[in-house]
Amino acid sequence: MSFGQEAASPELAAHRLGRLTFALTFVLACVVAGLGLARLASGPWYQVYAPLGGRLLEGWPTSWEAIYYLVHFPTFLGDAPPWLGISAVQQRTLLHLYLASALYAWTGSAFWSLAAVDLMFWFLAGIAGYHVALRLGAAPWAAALNALMTVASPILVSNMWRHDLHVANFATMPLGLWAAMVLVDEHHSRRRLAATLGLLLLLLSLTYQYQWILIPLFVVLLTASPRVTPRQALAVALGATLLYLIATAALGAALAMVGLGASVGELKAVSQPGELLAARLASLRSPADVLAALPGRYRIEVMVQAYHPAVFVAGLAGLALLPRRTRWLALVASAVALLASTLYGPPWTAMSAYPFIYAGAGVSCAAAGTLAARAVAAVPWLSQRPARWSVGLARAVSLSLTLLLAALTNLDLVGDQQFLLLWWNYYSGRTLF
Amino acid sequence: MSREPATPSATFSRSIDLPSRAGAGAGAGAPARDGVAGCAKAALAPARPLVSVGARSPLPLSLVAGVVVAQLYLALKPEGPIMAGLGAGVKAMLGCWLVLTLAEVAGATLRGGAGGSEAVEALPLRTGAAPAVRWPVAWLPRLNALHITVGSAALIAAALQRAPGRLLVNLLGFGLVAVPLLWVVQRRAGPPVATRAALAFALFAFVPTHTDIRQAPASEQARLDSPFRWTVGWPDESWILRHEIQPDRLAMGPFEQPMFLTVVVVGDARGGGQVYATLNGQELGPLRRTEYGTLVVGVPADLLVTQSRLAFELRQSPRDPALRLVAQRWSGGATLGPAASSFYDTRRWWPGTFNDAAGRREPGVYLLELRDSP
């Protein structure tokens, strides 16, 4: 019996797969709704960490940064000439903002419109994580466990009820990764592939900034494809990047033409990755500078602690069991995440490779369950049990481990704020109150 | 790095998120996995589908919802204009249809395997064949997702030509959401479902073009009756509001520089009220207003270095009901948790806060922070 997979006829296996998928969808929806709504009682992470940054919107909890997005509801929904341009902080979440504003027109509630976008993408992150794990080589059960851990992850829990659309933003990593894997795995024409990957990069740039993580992953995915030579892989990745840059410039020009350019009243709330990188490169004058600019022990510590050490170790262990392509993808994504965190240090940057870590953790849990079942089956007086008993035991053990790992980062629900405060401390230090 | 086949290792994988290819002729580059595809197709098309496309139209239920809402609106607001009630009914009907259709689409998409498009690297909205969807009006040409999307974009553009900026951001948002959405739906659930999804998303995007919302929703610091963040005042000049902090010396090290106590308040000092602070009985003086609307007072380092617990007490003189502190219910981040804040009502000390506007005690913490800059 291999990890997370039991011997069965194809028809029976397919039927179980369908039931698993349906059950997983239902469970993920319940978990997302539960974890999100429960924080209204136990305390949204940000408001617990930094209450001075909290606010109320329509009487419900939000954060001061919601203003960056609320201020543009009239841009999408009103006929008055815009008095504020689309700055970087808004452009990088333009599509989420569009959805939230349209929902506001329907519902009349800004609070619940923003929350609905966050919750919906939070749920989609779990679904996408499941499919990503399958494509990375995990068995369905392991992929399902990964999805559970993904939706319980601090990267998605931490920013709920801030109403800065960060939850929806962070959910686009598994969504974008899944789309990239599908496009690469199933392409028939390299030119079309470059075009669609370029469109994907544009979409990611308008739903956060994961395009910078995906570009090197394109190269890995394409190089791993038997139908593409390394030179072609590089050409496709460069072509996609070029198309993305052209489209972004065109978008900026179009916005400026209608009076929504960044120069028309700008909120300099964020630094652009390109600017940060350019500034860092300009400061490198010697090999010592280069070494100093590389991520050191502190950045690795932030990464490990942000996931929780147990989750991170489980992720690494599981990645060792997955195919080589997956390991290379995880390595490249983690390296880019570490480098990015030297430019912009919050914990969510260090967690940018989270689909891979959680895929590995899901496989680890499934493997542990299988090993436990095998160990029990080796006991003479238990070896007579039917195979279904072993499968049930394996699943029970693996699910228990998964729930335990998920619980480690959600203990704030039962009053233990230690992990929450540790996680947010990596954002701007301890708030003393 | 050797090149692995795109097909993941058989030991771990059974990728089910490919569209069904059984009998459809896979593309040249697609991995050949008929066995798995066959299993996937069987798994994802059970004998009794949990969601059926087009089997039950959401229109009747939507009509009922619209009529009910219109009736309720007119009954609850008899003095209001009839058109407003009808408008509410129409919106409710459309909203109900939208929700039910999206739920149906979502179910079909999550199930997958209903004969999605094979050409996935191109924008797969052109299917060639007419969609097998029950079309409400027989004499209208059958439309697919691409037709509906392009047509909707034209309608949105026509509706918003009065405001070019609004037109651009809405078209951009509509197009860049519609393309990936319909791509996913089509490959997972097939052209008929993609057509319904296109209709639903078009309605979702088009209805807001008739609004004219010029005022951005505003957030606020607190509300008097909020269970999350409320305001706290001094009913009497003798009242004292206390907040205690227990710094983690090991983590933070010694206090070598002066710090600043920042306090979140609402209201101004029109009544002449002034807030004064003490630290462990030592006077810190009056708090001053900052450009951010908070109150701040400096805390000398020598008052901090030897103290294991910092007890800040705030008084107001003269009493000014307009100038109030803000408190919140979640105290987990305070160094002393729910025991951090307390108040003195001239008789005794009480834990938590007192919402004097509501006239009741509220467990929570005052919003103040010790910072290294104002």
Q: Do A322 and B12 touch (CB under 8 A)?
A: yes
pLDDT of residue A271: 62
pLDDT of residue A382: 67
pLDDT of residue B127: 40
Q: Which two tokens stand for residue B366?
A: 């005052």
| B307–chain A Cβ distance below 8 A for any pair | no
- What's the CA gap between B155 and B170, in Å, rounded? 12
DSSP, res B320: -
DSSP, res B337: G
* 3-state SS track over A391-429: HHHHHHHHHHHHHHHHHHCCHHHHCCCHHHHHHHHHHHC
Residue whose C-alpha is closest to residue B188's, from B122, B120, B250:
B120
Residue A46, Cα to own-chain centre: how many angstroms? Answer: 18
What residues 155-214 of chain B have any CB closer than 8 A to a CB of chain A?
A: 162-170, 172-174, 176-177, 179-180, 187, 204-205, 207-208, 211-214
Calculate the CA dihedral of residues A354, A360, A366, A369 and round it to 10 degrees: -110
Residue whose C-alpha is closest to residue A427's, from A265, A317, A305:
A305
pLDDT of residue B118: 32
What residues 362-421 of chain A have any CB closer than 8 A to a CB of chain B?
A: 363, 412, 415, 417, 420-421
Q: Do B122 and A196 touch (CB under 8 A)?
A: yes
Q: What residue ranges in A205-309 does DSSP mark as E strands? A: none
Return mean pLDDT, chain A.
91
Contact list in B for residue A11 (CB cut-off 8 A) is: 39, 42
DSSP string, B230-289: EEE--SSTT-EEEEEE---HHHH----S-EEEEE-EES--TT---EEEEETTEEEEE-EE
- Model confidence, pTM: 0.88
Contact list in A for residue B340 (CB cut-off 8 A) is: 433
Q: Find the range with the poorest average confidence among A206-210, A353-357, B21-25, B304-308.
A: B21-25
| A91–chain B Cβ distance below 8 A for any pair | no
In this predicted structure, the answer to whether residue B123 has a pLDDT above a threshold of 60 is no
3-class secondary-structure state, position B360: strand
Return mean pLDDT, chain B.
80
In this predicted structure, the answer to whether residue B58 has a pLDDT above a threshold of 90 is no
Name the range with the highest mean pLDDT among A258-262, A331-335, B11-15, B121-125.
A331-335
Q: Do A79 and B219 touch (CB under 8 A)?
A: no
Calculate how close chain A gets to B138, using CA atoms only, in Å: 30
Q: Which residue stretches of chain A have pLDDT < 50?
A: 1-6
- What's the CA gap between A266 and A384, in Å, rounded? 72
| B86–chain A Cβ distance below 8 A for any pair | no
Residue A52, Cα to own-chain centre: how many angstroms? Answer: 27
In this predicted structure, the answer to whether residue B96 has a pLDDT above a threshold of 70 is yes
In this predicted structure, the answer to whether residue B41 has a pLDDT above a threshold of 50 is no
In this predicted structure, the answer to whether residue B121 has a pLDDT above a threshold of 50 is no
pLDDT of residue B167: 96
Q: State the residue for tokens 């520089």.
A: B257
Q: Do B46 and A15 touch (CB under 8 A)?
A: yes
For chain B, the farthest-separated pair of C-alpha atoms sits apart, in whole angstroms, at: 87
The residues that bridge with B362 in the sheet, in sequence order, are B353
What residues 314-333 of chain A have any CB closer than 8 A to a CB of chain B?
A: 321-325, 328
Q: What was the ipTM of the complex prediction?
A: 0.92
Which of A183, A203, A432 minimises the CB distance to B335? A432
Q: What is the pLDDT of residues A288-326, one digit of tens each?
A: 777 777 888 999 999 999 999 999 999 999 999 999 999
| B110–chain A Cβ distance below 8 A for any pair | yes
Ordered alpha helix ranges (H), chain B? 34-44, 59-76, 82-111, 145-159, 164-189, 191-206, 249-252
Give the count of beta carbons closer than 10 Å to the beta carbon of residue B282: 12
| A245–chain B Cβ distance below 8 A for any pair | no
Pairing of strands B365-366, B341-344: unpaired
